[in-house]
Chains A and B, each alone.
Chain A
């Protein structure tokens, strides 16, 4: 694997292409598209990403958009952006600082300029830089004219005018034609970075299949943007970023976002378990895409039930679980709060159930479209009584697929609700994903109870719904429709074995301890330490979506000669059996989290280890640079 470099290096030995322009080779590029939330920046970023993925670069993306569907036009809160980082080698994050900013209006420029290093390229839509629009976002003068951008390489492009001009032959108003300016910008960027365009052309034709004239207008704008790049002298250079072939193991790849991977993982888990998939859900950002995606796959026997509220969403899922489905509910933090009582019931009923929490900024409504990892303690403890629930957390968008399979394995094996903690960054971010062969997928088949499992003293054969598997402590899953196994379950404490209501003090304590022992005994793989030199005395630990920035930071530190070990947790309850030993073998343990130190709290309590937190709750992922500094500081402390 190649290592990540801090700044894009530019090969000065350019070559000449057919259009008489220089072509330069880069090993990586970070582009940020930014505009009004109505400007189609997410679509533009998605398309550029797809082009980049099909070209074979490694990539990582960071969509960042307001919660409002259409925030007031031209204002700072209304700015929507999409950052894509692509490279000829293995990369881990969407990048700290964009080398290219596409700013569709003054608000987009103002909101993003602080993230740009000096020398970065800025492509601005000059049509939007009217004195009124400039004043609206608080600029004293026009930033395109007052010299404030002198340190950058600014391309002044009248994107709207050029788009309208290109669409003259269409029966569209100026306003309608102007809407295609994002496709003009996409065409221009596609030319600049030698992106393949067939995918976007096919996409536009399919998207506007019912309105061919709109499809044609967008295609025309897209091609006009490409041609503009090729002809105008303002863009003297285009860039090549070679495919990242050597960064990946052999296989078939596609671009994959976290929510899509999750939905596919659930469909796959149901097939591997040979059970019907049932989703009970209520729309909530950023989890709704999983509901949307699963709703498309009814031909896999997938039932999706959009319930009247979060409680009914999990209620329906639990009912389906009782009936023998692989049952799932998807939500985000506030929804988890509403589902808590039903999760407790599922703990008591000991039925398999997947609770998927796409975490977002909190508390309360918080930051619906931004990322955070602050639901860990809610997942761990957010119920009345002693109600342990296993927790699985994917580290990358693509890993959401395997996390879904793993959560299903635990739920089905141990007959328990399981939390899967994703977050907004994983959900909407994307990366290249190796398509697995279906033969590589795990066997998740489980046995329903089919007959009596207990003999009474008088020799009568009976069925006891809470007679446990001695190894897993799981109770039998007897689904309605099975003759002779009629039984009643409920949220009242029950006698172990028979499942009958029991208020006996000793039995209650036995049941509480048994439920805890069952979850403590869930089999999870050992944690793996990455310490290439074997000389590290500082460990940096993480969980969930911080994997990318932590790993990028660790690489930077090692490149500079620092010795640091890294471990990333995919299982947060129970912890891997070797975790305590790992933590105790380092002088320092550093733990970056997008919360105020929730995992640190758990680790300190569990292992009595002085875990040091690095926290960030900005609604955005960590930047690798910041983590690298934190690691270096910790290393300095050791020496």
Chain B
């Protein structure tokens, strides 16, 4: 996994430094609520729930200081299954509600669970504004490219021309690429992972938890009822080799069939991502023919989101061929809740702690004698 996944516990402490630590050791079991999980058998959501419950104990954060807030949709039932504080709110509004909670309470670790319809259709406005503000929220966007809870209409991430109940002749919409949207919205942390790859998923979740500020994690999640197999191309070991581009900070962006040392290669993928000198666009080349010199080295920490955005555009919006996964961007920038708290402190330094009597009296009074 990337360097993000191998961070030391100290770095986690820094990112969650305002959140109280757990008194004792916690296990995944501690994070399971007593409620029966009611997703369809075979749903990708189970894997994400297990991964979250499995990795949260590692954070060492007090369970009572963790809050999950969701909107509406299948994935938004998530908080009911977590033995933390939680709120299942209304369609699309979870980022707004979570922004209020996180800015009022910096001692909490606040997570948003949302879906492609919830986050990108009805709640698109709240998502982009939470990201640009850089409120200290971790947003898990379960993307199954379909409306599941309402039984199978196309979603804002469905491929164009998709035949569904509401689009018998094919959908007319151009899909959103959630990673591109997030990067365009000034997100300081953007990652993509897949429900079925527990190790990768856990690594990305850890990296998100470690990041101070807004983090958007897109999780490709299979809806086996209404959109089964939507991610087969990138899940099938054979096809994934050329379809998936694994991003790791500090590593050359290489994928595809390994270029065997026996053939004079370096054991890394035989395909690489390079920047075309003439157009500035990113392109995929066969490094066995072109050499490895021009291959981009992934820098998730760079201040500019330009290359991360270009990487997000490599994927074919219809088939998802050449989909990068991993942490696209993890950059430091001022966090809204910190700035808000600083202004409050600054106001006290400048004007002293508020005096209600003086405020109500003001500067311009007159007296009526009894």
Contacts and interface: CB of A to CB of B under 8 A. Distances in A.
Contacts of B362: 254, 435
Contact of A303 (B90, B344, B356): B344
A264 interface: yes
A312 B108 contact: no
Interface string A416-436: 000000000000000000011
B64 A484 contact: yes
B202 interface: no
B356 to A, nearest CB: 5
B95 to A, nearest CB: 8
Contacts of B236: none
A53 B80 contact: no
Contacts of A264: 359-360
A349 B101 CA distance: 15
Contacts of A323: 100-101, 104-105, 108
A235 interface: no
Nearest to B361: A435
Contact of A245 (B343, B347, B361, B368): B368
Nearest to B84: A486
Interface string A16-55: 0000000000000000000000000000000000100111
A7 interface: no
Nearest to A50: B364
A250 B366 CA distance: 11
A278 to B, nearest CB: 5
B352 interface: yes
Contacts of A483: 62-64
Contacts of B20: 481
Contact of B368 (A251, A271, A280, A300): A251
A249 interface: yes
A56 B64 contact: no
B364 A255 contact: yes
Contacts of B364: 50, 53-54, 199, 254-255
Nearest to B353: A299
Interface in B166-209: none
A307 B97 CA distance: 11
Which one of A308, A309, A311 has the greatest number of beta carbons of chain B within 10 Å? A308
Interface in A490-538: 490-492, 500-501
Contact of A480 (B64, B80, B126): B64
B369 A490 contact: no
A300 to B, nearest CB: 3
Interface in A446-499: 480-492
B348 A253 contact: no
B97 A319 contact: yes
Interface residues of A, number: 72
Contact of A317 (B100, B107, B343, B351): B100
A345 interface: yes
A336 to B, nearest CB: 16
B136 interface: no
Given A315-B97, A481-B105, A298 B129 contact: no
Nearest to A325: B104
B22 to A, nearest CB: 10
Interface string A307-345: 111011001111111111101000000000000011011
Nearest to A253: B366
Interface string B49-68: 00000000000001111110
Which one of B65, B97, B354 has the greatest number of beta carbons of chain A within 10 Å? B97
B90 A349 contact: no
B85 A318 contact: no
Interface in B7-34: 20, 33
B357 interface: yes
Interface in B42-100: 62-67, 69, 79-80, 82-90, 93, 96-100
Interface in A211-264: 243, 245, 248-255, 264
A276 B347 CA distance: 15
A320 B63 CA distance: 19
A91 interface: no
A303 B104 contact: yes
Nearest to B98: A319
A249 B368 contact: yes
A129 interface: no
B354 A267 contact: yes
Which one of B83, B360, B364, B370 has the greatest number of beta carbons of chain A within 10 Å? B360
B6 interface: no
A297 interface: yes
A489 B350 CA distance: 40
A54 B367 CA distance: 9
Contact of A312 (B93, B348, B352, B357): B93
A12 interface: no
Contacts of A299: 344, 347-348, 350-354
A615 B58 CA distance: 66
B368 A56 contact: yes
B97 A482 contact: no
B344 A488 contact: no
B239 interface: no
A14 interface: no
A312 B125 contact: yes
A271 B358 CA distance: 14
Contacts of A50: 364
Which one of A243, A320, A342 has the greatest number of beta carbons of chain B within 10 Å? A320
A388 B167 CA distance: 39
Interface in A338-393: 341-342, 344-345, 349
B1 interface: no
Nearest to A263: B359
B365 interface: yes
Given A254-B364, A320-B104, 9 more contacts: A248-B368, A268-B360, A300-B353, A308-B125, A312-B99, A325-B104, A345-B90, A488-B80, A490-B87
Shortest 3 CB-CB distances between A and B: which pairs?
A319-B100, A490-B88, A316-B100
24 contacts: A54-B364, A243-B366, A248-B368, A254-B361, A254-B362, A276-B104, A299-B354, A302-B344, A308-B126, A311-B96, A315-B99, A316-B103, A319-B102, A341-B90, A344-B90, A435-B361, A435-B362, A481-B64, A481-B65, A486-B83, A490-B79, A490-B87, A492-B88, A500-B35
